[in-house]
Amino acid sequence: MVKTGVWDYLTNPANYFDILYIFGSILMSLLHITVDPFQILSKVVMIFVILQSIVRTFKCMRIIELYSPIVTMLQAVFYDLRIFLLFYGILVGKFSLLFSILGCAIPNYEINPVYTLAKAQALAEDGDYYGQEYMDMHLLMARLIDTLKVSLGDLGLIGTSMDLGLEDNILFFICLMLVIVVTFIIFLNFIIAEASASYETVAGDLPSYIMKQKATLIAESEFLMPEWMKSQNSFPKYIIVREVDS
């Protein structure tokens, strides 16, 4: 910021993550001193700071030759999968509405008398009923999570079909098979295949990626270095000389 000025510094979106990390760390320290580390606000700030530290750590590890290939590949693969992950999220959201129509996938115990009776029987027998881990969560979000679990191969949702009628039970298994085939068998494997293809593409040009990352970090450190620490044959001057000679 001192070198480039405030306006030029703020025009780079990547610098906002550094600003948020700095202010988040300061806020976390203040909350620990004034409030309590176990308060929900303190936990949220701590989680945010830790996630930011992971990103910053990986960013700095690019300069190390041993870790640079892994960090570079992760960055490229995540960027290539952004469209496919968006489609996957849309599919999970739409399929969760199918289970909402049937009333299963976290049954609505307050409205559906069938599930209200099933919950009462379960509490009388062993005290457990399906979906009790979502009791403090919004019903729509709970169904999204349960549908996501089905798309990843967790079929614990089948237990809710025992309380459905014959017609609803048939519709439930039709919808369940549709979700399994589209999300788990087809689309999830399609994402894995696309990640493998992206990995192979990056691996083919890996030396170029690594040299680019190193050159970027070296140029940044050279720019931020005080003038009295720079040598006469610094990297940017060498580039300028070569361009003039050519």
What string of pLDDT tens digits covers the 246 residues of the chain?
665 667 776 777 777 888 888 899 999 989 888 888 888 889 999 999 999 888 888 877 777 777 777 777 777 777 878 888 888 889 899 888 888 887 666 666 666 666 666 666 676 677 676 667 777 777 788 888 888 888 888 887 777 777 677 887 888 888 888 888 888 888 888 888 888 887 777 777 777 777 777 777 777 777 777 776 666 554 444 444 444 444
Q: Is the pTM of this model over 0.75?
A: no
Task: Break the chain into its structural domains and give their ranges.
Answer: 1-61, 82-200
Run of H or E including 176: helix 166-179
Q: Would you state the structure tokens that stand for residue 97, as one six-digit string?
A: 């509405």
Residue closest to 133 by CA, chosen among 167, 156, 165, 153: 156
Give me the residue label for tokens 């005290």.
127
Give me the residue label for tokens 């003039």.
244
Backbone φ and ψ for 103, nearest 5 degrees, come out as 85, 5
Burial of 15 by CB count in 10 Å (0-12 exposed, 13-18 middle, 19+ buried)?
middle
Helix and strand totals (H; E) in the chain: 11, 0
- The tens digit of pLDDT for each residue in 123-152 reads 667 767 666 777 777 778 888 888 888 888
Q: Would you state the structure tokens that stand for residue 34, as one six-digit string?
A: 């004034």
Contact criterion met (CB below 8 Å) for 96 and 147: yes
How remote is the C-alpha of 166 from its chain's centroid?
Answer: 39
Give dist(CA 198, CA 97) in Å, integer. 32
Distances (CA, A) of 143 to 3, 115, 159, 160: 51, 15, 15, 13
At 109 the pLDDT is 64
